[in-house]
């Protein structure tokens, strides 16, 4: 493992591209799995189903890995600027590969306009993660940021259930409650902790202005999406148009 990480650290760019290709291969493999009929009827829904399938696999891997890293090495949270382990560096490299692959998938699918919010998010994440990989700074911050992937598991499952027409199922109703909890615990708290850390240590940190600007933009996006999530799942009259996968517009995260 140490030899692998040493190679990755010497060649972060090619390593990211390698992992991006692996996620593309995963996308191709997932196409062999059964797909609900309601999804196959619409080209956009079919693409979104496959895209979310890859995303949920990445979330399961990176969310578990990030959570384990923070538990085993609590120094990650106390020094997000300089502290990191070989395994945490590898995690950030793998996740960067996913975001590169997902960005290309969105652009070349022809649905970039429908997914512009994802593209803005991915651009900010990629700039931050690539900075960490090349400078070996803020790797700990990237690991903490990847705790949001714990929430992404329930968030993506929510979208998959809606696309499959299961928005009224017991599984969906349970998941929407768990989703709110993980959103607050692993997405809002995580983002706000990193923002607080950089704000309180601003004068001591490298490139603090860039990271603070990126965090402010992402925090605003997260709060807006949290509002839309609550409105859609807990105020039925507001989310009726998005029920059972019947979207009025081809927009990735309208619901």
245 band by pLDDT with thresholds 50, 70 and 90: very low
Asked if residue 130 belongs to a domain, the reply is yes
Could you give the residue ranges of the DSSP H alpha helices within 74-200? 75-78, 86-109, 116-135, 139-145, 148-163, 170-182, 189-200
Residue 250: inside a domain, yes or no? no
219 in a domain, yes or no?
yes
Residue 183 belongs to some domain of the structure: yes
Residue in 55, 63, 62 with CA at minimum distance from that of residue 26: 55
pLDDT in tens, 92-146: 999 999 999 999 999 998 888 878 888 999 999 999 999 999 999 999 999 999 9
Cα–Cα distances in angstroms (integers) from residue 147 to residues 24, 27, 40, 125, 151, in the given order: 23, 23, 32, 13, 8
Mean pLDDT taken over the chain: 91
pLDDT per position as a tens digit, 200-229: 999 999 999 999 999 999 999 999 999 999
Per the structure, the count of domains in the chain is 1
Question: What predicted TM-score, i.e. pTM, was given to this entire model?
Answer: 0.91
Name the 3-class secondary structure at 199. Answer: helix
Share of the chain above pLDDT 70, in %: 92
Asked whether residue 239 is assigned to any structural domain, the reply reads yes
Assigned domain for 115 exists = yes
In a domain, 63, yes or no: yes
Domain encompassing residue 115: 2-245
Q: State residue 151 phi and psi, 5-degree precision.
A: -70, -35
In a domain, 175, yes or no: yes
Nearest alpha carbon to residue 123 among 148, 150, 104: 104
- Binning pLDDT at 50, 70 and 90, where does residue 184 land? very high
- pLDDT grade for 71, boundaries at 50, 70 and 90: very high
Which of 73, 82, 79, 113 lies closest to 250 in space, CA to CA?
113
């Amino acid at each position: 493992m140490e030899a692998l990480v040493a190679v990755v650290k010497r060649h972060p760019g090619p390593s990211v591209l390698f992992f991006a290709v692996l996620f593309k291969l995963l996308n191709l493999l997932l196409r062999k799995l059964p797909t609900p009929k309601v999804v196959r009827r619409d080209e956009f829904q079919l693409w979104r189903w496959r895209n979310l399938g890859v995303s949920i696999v990445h979330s399961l891997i990176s969310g578990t890995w990030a959570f384990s890293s923070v538990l085993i090495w609590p120094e990650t949270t106390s020094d997000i600027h300089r502290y990191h382990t070989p395994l945490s560096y590898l995690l950030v490299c793998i996740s960067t590969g996913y975001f590169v692959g997902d960005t290309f998938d969105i652009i070349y699918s022809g649905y970039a306009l429908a997914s512009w919010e994802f593209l803005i998010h991915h651009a900010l994440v990629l700039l931050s993660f690539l900075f960490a990989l090349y400078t070996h700074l803020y790797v700990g911050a990237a690991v903490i940021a990847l705790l949001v992937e714990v929430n992404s598991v329930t968030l993506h499952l929510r979208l998959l259930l809606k696309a499959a027409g299961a928005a009224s199922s017991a599984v969906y109703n349970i998941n929407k409650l768990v989703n709110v909890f993980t959103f607050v615990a692993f997405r809002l708290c995580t983002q706000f902790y990193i923002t607080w850390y950089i704000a309180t240590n601003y004068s001591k940190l490298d490139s603090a202005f860039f990271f603070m600007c990126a965090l402010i933009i992402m925090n605003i996006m997260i709060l807006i999406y949290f509002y839309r999530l609550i409105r859609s799942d807990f105020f039925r009259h507001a989310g009726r148009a998005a029920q059972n996968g019947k979207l009025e517009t081809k927009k990735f995260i309208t619901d």
